[in-house]
Amino acid sequence: MAVITIFSASYCQSDVITSELSQRLGYRIIEDHKIIEKAGKLYDVAPGRFEKTLYHKTSIFNRFTHERERYVGYFKSIVAEYLKQDAIIFHGYAGHLIPKHISHVLKVCLIADPKYRVAQAVKAQRLSEDEALKRIHKDDEGRREWTEYVLRKAPWNPSLYDIVLPIDKTGLEDTIALIAGNARKGVVQPTDASVSAVKDFALASEVEVALAKEGHAVDVAAQSGKVTITINKHVIILSRLEEELKKIAKAVPGVSEVETRVGPDFYQPDIYRKFDFEAPSKVLLVDDEREFVQTLSERLLMRDVGSAVAYDGMQALSVIENDEPEVMILDLKMPGIDGIEVLRRVKAEHPRVEVIVLTGHGTAEDKKTCQELGAFAYLQKPVDIEVLTKTMNAAYEKLRRSKEKK
Amino acid sequence: MSYKDSIIGTAMALFAENGFKDTSTADIAKSIGSAESTLFHHFKNKEELLLKILERVQRDIVREVESHLHDAEPENGLAMISGIVGLFFHLSEAKRVEFLLLFRNYPYQLANVNPTCRKIIESIYDFFLGIIAEALIKGQQDGSIREVNVQKQAMVILAMITGLTRFDIFGIMTLAGYHQEIIDSCQRMLCREYICED
């Protein structure tokens, strides 16, 4: 059977909905405080302190104690234990900690208009409307703080859930029926893969707890005993840190192998780039040879140039629509809309974008056409990265001058 | 000294004194008395020049420390620690320019984005951590040092001596007169009994 998680804005009748669902489906309800109680017992933390640390803004002392990371880790490991069982509804914050690839979990979010929630609050707590509104704001703030902390996303972000239900519009009965109906669907039933994903999640949580106890806050993933630790905070003496993390992780029972890797934030182009005004910061690379374009993107990153990548003309045009680059590096020979057509449209609709044509099979005629259409430069593959960088900087310089004139 | 060496030496002194950003390739060329274009004949850009300098600093420091360690015959691990601490302060004076460069912000900013740079700087720190850890292990074996977490203790000792060296190099406070106190502190931190006999 599927597992259901219900996260709700305050005063959206989530208690009523959860208990009704539990009766209809024969599911057991697991509230956050139950998880906290269990984790507190296992790891010897008073529930009050646990709750306070878990839900409230990171204390200034946390930097040294890493208490919050630790408690989130404890919390997660209990959630993972419950997940091994069947027929469960998590009511509260637990759902946010369950990874997406555990596919037999139906994640539900309940929301409602402020008007509806105020009315509910006035009725339930005998508050004035003003008081009710204040309390709702405070509740929302708490939820925002939580999801920002664990997921770096807003609490109502639809990507966090399978269904988001506006209880004021859907109505109590329909909401319950919808959730129950979805929980019975085939896609949220456990599969071999999703069951082993639960085991991986449990192991990763345990490793996370072991690391957090030693003060390390890092991302941990597991796959049948093989643990991958991702380091995002930049350190110079990386090898010693890796050694230490591996040692801690290997001591956790069930771990067969540990690998460390640096995450995308490890090397930070931004810090450095702000000192360098000569290089463009928004570059779009368009080429259907994926390997070439990815390598180029990485090499540019080493030179502190951030770039986006598009693999065909259509993609390129849609990227430009949404976020105009400063410089575009364009291949001519591509399936679908070819490079010359992309150039024509870009120069017509986004004349400020400087286009550098980079091609392997261009003819003299192609070159002439490109120049007439307003390409900034025409380069032949293979290109020396130095030459490309210089050309890019020159193109950016031209753009910057024209901006200054305005 | 080859021309390339003189570029490296001059650029190192300028970077250390004035910082990387505030030193132009024109400044470097002027100090050596040659054209900027000759500079670019040997180094692609300023960044590559910095990497070459850091590589050389790393090599020099390792060579120098190893030759001193080779000559020393400490009686036990604890004495070895005192020796390394003393040697570190000696180096900070003898290799003033190199140390000043290593205390500048720029190499670390570059290390933030450039894996080659990170690895060179890492190997310098790693080298010191390695010899301190080795002394700690030796001390634990010969009984002069109590049970400690070797890796972490090595980091704390290195951080303490680099922190103190910064005080001296940036003129926050002179370390003259502090050497004995620092060595005593290490001993108090590491020796078997918390209260050491004098």
**What CATH number is associated with residue A175?**
3.40.50.300
B171 at A interface, C-beta within 8 A: no
Whether B77 is in a domain gets the answer yes
pLDDT at B164: 92
Whether A274 is in a domain gets the answer no
Choose one of A133, A154, A184: the last residue of a domain: A184
What pLDDT digit, counting tens, does each position of A137-155 carry? 999 988 998 998 889 889 9
Whether B146 is in a domain gets the answer yes
Q: Indicate if A355 and A215 belong to the same structural domain.
A: no
B105 at A interface, C-beta within 8 A: no
- For the entire predicted model, the pTM comes to 0.64
**Rounded Cα–Cα distance for residues A155 and A7 (Å):** 9
Average pLDDT, chain A: 88
What pLDDT digit, counting tens, does each position of A293-314 carry? 888 887 777 666 777 888 899 8
Range scoring the smallest mean pLDDT among A174-183, A265-274, A313-322, A392-401: A265-274
Burial class (CB in 10 A: 0-12, 13-18, 19+), A158: exposed
- Cβ proximity of A204 and A220 under 8 Å: yes
Q: Per-residue pLDDT for A168 more than 50? A: yes
Tell me the residue type at A405: K
Range scoring the smallest mean pLDDT among A56-70, B13-27, B177-191: A56-70
Q: Indicate if A24 and A104 belong to the same structural domain.
A: yes
A301 min Cα distance to partner chain B (Å): 8
What pLDDT digit, counting tens, does each position of B87-119 carry? 998 899 889 899 999 998 889 888 888 889 999
Cβ <8 Å between B112 and A302: no
Chain A, residues 267-286, CB within 8 A of chain B, namely: 267-269, 271-272, 275
Q: Indicate if A314 and A398 belong to the same structural domain.
A: yes
Cβ <8 Å between A244 and B126: no
Range scoring the smallest mean pLDDT among A371-375, B15-19, B128-132: B15-19
Cβ <8 Å between B125 and A234: no
> Which residues in chain B have their CB less than 8 angstroms from residue A269's CB?
113
Choose one of A262, A294, A324: the last residue of a domain: A262
Average pLDDT, chain B: 88
For an interface test with B, the pick among A214, A233, A234, A236 (most B C-beta atoms closer than 10 Å) comes out as: A236
pLDDT at A268: 58
Q: Per-residue pLDDT for B156 more than 90? A: yes
Q: Indicate if A159 and A55 belong to the same structural domain.
A: yes
* Overall domain count for chain A: 3
B21, B113, B118: residue with CB nearest A236: B118
A318 at B interface, C-beta within 8 A: no
Q: Per-residue pLDDT for B198 more than 60? A: no
Range scoring the smallest mean pLDDT among A74-88, A281-295, B23-37, B182-196: B182-196
* Overall domain count for chain B: 1
Q: Provide the token pair at A217.
A: 């806050």
- Secondary structure, 3-state, chain A: CCEEEEEECCCCCHHHHHHHHHHHHCCEEEEHHHHHHHHHHHHCCCHHHHHHHHHCCCCCCHHHHCHHHHHHHHHHHHHHHHHCCCCEEEECCHHHHCCCCCCCEEEEEEECCHHHHHHHHHHHHCCCHHHHHHHHHHHHHHHHHHHHHHHCCCCCCHHHCCEEEEHHHHCHHHHHHHHHHHHHCHHHCCCHHHHHHHHHHHHHHHHHHHHHHCCCCCEEEEECCEEEEEECCCCCCHHHHHHHHHHHHHCCCCCCEEEEEECCCCCCHHHHHCCCCCCCCCEEEECCCHHHHHHHHHHHHHCCCCEEEECCHHHHHHHHHHCCCCEEEECCCCCCCCHHHHHHHHHHHCCCCEEEEEECCCCHHHHHHHHHHCCCEEEECCCCHHHHHHHHHHHHHHHHHHHHHC
Q: Indicate if A128 and A15 belong to the same structural domain.
A: yes
Choose one of A167, A184, A201: the last residue of a domain: A184
What pLDDT digit, counting tens, does each position of A318-344 carry? 888 877 888 999 999 888 889 999 999
Q: What CATH number is attached to the domain comprising B160?
A: 1.10.357.10
Whether A135 is in a domain gets the answer yes
Q: How confident is the model at residue A60 (pLDDT cuts 50, 70, 90)?
A: low
**Which range marks the domain in which residue B148 is found?**
53-190
**Rounded Cα–Cα distance for residues A248 and A254 (Å):** 13
How confident is the model over A186-211, as a mean pLDDT? 92
Q: Indicate if A29 and A167 belong to the same structural domain.
A: yes
- Cβ proximity of A105 and A201 under 8 Å: no
**Which range marks the domain in which residue A363 is found?**
283-405
Q: Please give the angle made by the CA atoms of A87, A152 and A47, to the nearest 5 degrees.
A: 55
| ipTM confidence score | 0.74
